Amino acid sequence: MEKINVNYPKMYYGFPVILISFYDKNGGPNVTTLSSSYTLKDMVVLGFSSKGYAINQIKEVKDFVINIPDASLVKDVNFCGRNSGFEVNKFESSNLTPVKSKVVNAPIIDECPIAIECTLTDVIERDYYDGVTNILANIKGRAIAKDYLDEEGQLKLMKIDNLIYIADGVNRGYRYMKSE
């Protein structure tokens, strides 16, 4: 395979889009779009631009929910990823509905089939990664839409219909997984 060296500012090689929902310091629900995440066992890592509204609220309120939207929610994903909570209450301006989690003090997005309830444990900011805030969080609970579960209560893998975000700093877009 012949390769060409490139000098992209980023190489997002396919990450599931997630919606992070939280109650801000005043108790108001808000939400932002993210693709930088990974999870292992009961831990999750998220990457934020340091100046955003969501990360600066989550650093204080600690609790949040990772919601996994399916392809039908692409409009709301784009809206929440192009507007800041500094200017808008994204729940009021979108079709998304906040419902209080039973496990953490944060709202679950009703329209998303999967919700992962988290509490912040670590904030990692380094001078050599200027403008980036990584956080680690502990997973306290998981809530999944009934029709995504089989008779044993396990996840039906073929139901997953995530949006996969790919970007090189100039080109960017979604790839869609096919549902059953």
The residues of the shown chain that bind ligand FMN, judged by CB under 6 A, are 17, 32-36, 47-49, 52-54, 78, 81-86, 165
Q: How many CA atoms lie within 13 A of 114 on its CB side?
A: 18
Which residues, 6+ apart, have CB-to-CB distance to 62 below 8 Å?
119, 120
* Least Cβ distance, residue 36 to ligand FMN (angstroms): 3
Give, in order, the Cα–Cα distances in Å from 94 to each of 3, 39, 73: 43, 28, 10
- Residue whose structure tokens are 């809530």: 143
Q: What is the DSSP letter of 178?
A: P
Residue among 132 and 160 whose Cβ is closer to ligand FMN: 132
Residue among 104 and 163 whose Cβ is closer to ligand FMN: 163
Q: How many CA atoms lie within 13 A of 106 on its CB side?
A: 31
Residue among 108 and 135 whose Cβ is closer to ligand FMN: 135
Residue among 47 and 141 whose Cβ is closer to ligand FMN: 47
* Least Cβ distance, residue 47 to ligand FMN (angstroms): 5
Sign of CA dihedral 24, 123, 17, 144: negative
- Residue 8, classed as helix, strand or coil, is coil
Residue among 156 and 176 whose Cβ is closer to ligand FMN: 176
Residue least distant from ligand FMN (Cβ): 81
d(CA 104, CA 121): 14
* Least Cβ distance, residue 146 to ligand FMN (angstroms): 27
Structure tokens at 86: 């500094």
* Least Cβ distance, residue 32 to ligand FMN (angstroms): 4
* Least Cβ distance, residue 82 to ligand FMN (angstroms): 6
